[in-house]
Amino acid sequence: MEHVGEIELIELVAGRVNAQRKAAVLDHIRLCPQCREKLDGLRKTWDVLGAWEVRPPEHLASTQVPPTPAAEKKDLRPSVIRLLDLGMALRFAAAIVITATVGYAGGRWSSRRTPAAGGIEPPEYISALGLDVADGLSTLVLQDESLPAEEERV
Amino acid sequence: MDKGPSSDAELMARVGRNDMAALGLLAERHRDRVLSLAYRLLGDWHRAEDVAQETFLRVRQAARGYEPQAKFTTWLYRIVHNLSMDQHRRAARAPLPLEVVQETEMEDSSRHDLAEKAELAQLVQRAIGQLPDRQRRVVILHRYEGLSHGEISEIAGWSRSAVESLLVRAYENLRENLAQHEDFSG
């Protein structure tokens, strides 16, 4: 007498065996204590496993709708680009304009208050030589003229 | 399960044409089972929720090229299974939470029955959690999702004979583990 395979017993317990095969297996089981014992054990296991019921919590029920195309598009954009949403872009532009204006005005005000030569009076030899100082940055230093630091040391 | 006249394949075709209402119908139709499967595989509702959302996003992305060769649910569960396994690998394997008994069940049952039921559910969950990973997955897909050997094979990427062998060993291990419980042995 050939025993019923365990996988077939599992499927029998799961109710997934066709009627014809089910009848044949049950016929065998009536005559075979070994297979009957296995089937009983499997049936018990199957039933006890049913105790693990799972139902999604209610707060998850409304969160599963997939994103709309617009929302998804927005989510897929890189974060840098996302920062440039209209409001952010306007604020960013305003900040640039204000910074540039304040900087320009400050520069103008500062240049008006500062002497042309940056506070350094041209040496007398410049006029003695008949040279003209174009701006405060150019100062002629003669080769044989000692620097103030050297004079102090001497 | 069906909430409208359209089949899953028809809805997928509509999703492929950017019909978001069809995607909503698909999500509504399969959401609970997707969540439950992910939860059973991961043991955590928040991670299950992440998997469910990612699953429907993948469904949308794949809709244009989708060809209904197998059952839609087999294809869908393969996505859930793979995403859950990715999650599972990323996270350290934590003991499965024991949050089986729902509030609503408390109203219907006596405290004693409820305590027994909760205890049994915890026992089952723990027994399944103790199985080797592949046996655990195969039991979840077979016992709780009602899938055939062929479908499990397709979803998990194992041969049919491997699935059957895993099932036999898994149910045997569970029978041994659960036999210690008096409700089971009695």
Q: What is the DSSP string of B70-88?
A: S-HHHHHHHHHHHHHHHHH
Q: What is the pLDDT of residue A92?
A: 83
Instruction: Give the pair of three-digit tokens for residue B166.
Output: 């895993």
Contacts of A60 in chain B (CB under 8 A): 35, 45, 48-49, 52
Q: Which of A52, A60, A68 sits opposite B125 (nearest CB)?
A: A52
pLDDT tens-digit map of B128-154: 999 999 999 999 999 999 999 999 999
Which two three-digit tokens encode residue B38? 């992910």
Its ipTM equals 0.80
pLDDT digits (tens, 9 = 90+) for A96-152: 999 999 998 888 888 776 555 455 666 666 666 666 655 544 455 555 555 555 555
Gyration radius of chain B over CA positions: 18
For chain B, counts of helices (H) and of strands (E)? 10, 0
Mean pLDDT for B38-50 is: 93
Shortest alpha-carbon distance between residue B130 and chain A (Å): 14
Give chain A's radius of gyration (CA, Å). Answer: 48
Q: For residue B60, give the nearest of A6, A16, A66 by CB distance.
A: A66
Long-range contacts of B60-68 (CB under 8 A, 24+ apart): B60/A66, B60/A72, B60/B15, B60/B23, B63/B12, B63/B13, B63/B15, B63/B16, B63/B23, B64/B16, B65/B16, B66/B12, B66/B13, B66/B16, B68/B8, B68/B9, B68/B12
Closest Cα in chain A to B161? A7
Yes or no: say if B77 and B18 are a contact pair by the CB < 8 Å rule. no
User: Which of the four pLDDT bands, split at 50, 70 and 90, describes residue A81?
Assistant: very low
Specify the pLDDT at position A130. Answer: 63
Count residue pairs from A and B with Cβ separation < 8 A. 106
User: Tens of pLDDT along B61-84?
Assistant: 999 888 888 889 999 999 999 999
Tell me which residues of chain B, numbers 61 to 90, contact chain A at a CB-CB cutoff of 8 Å: none
Mean pLDDT of chain B: 86
* Greater pLDDT, A37 or A143: A37
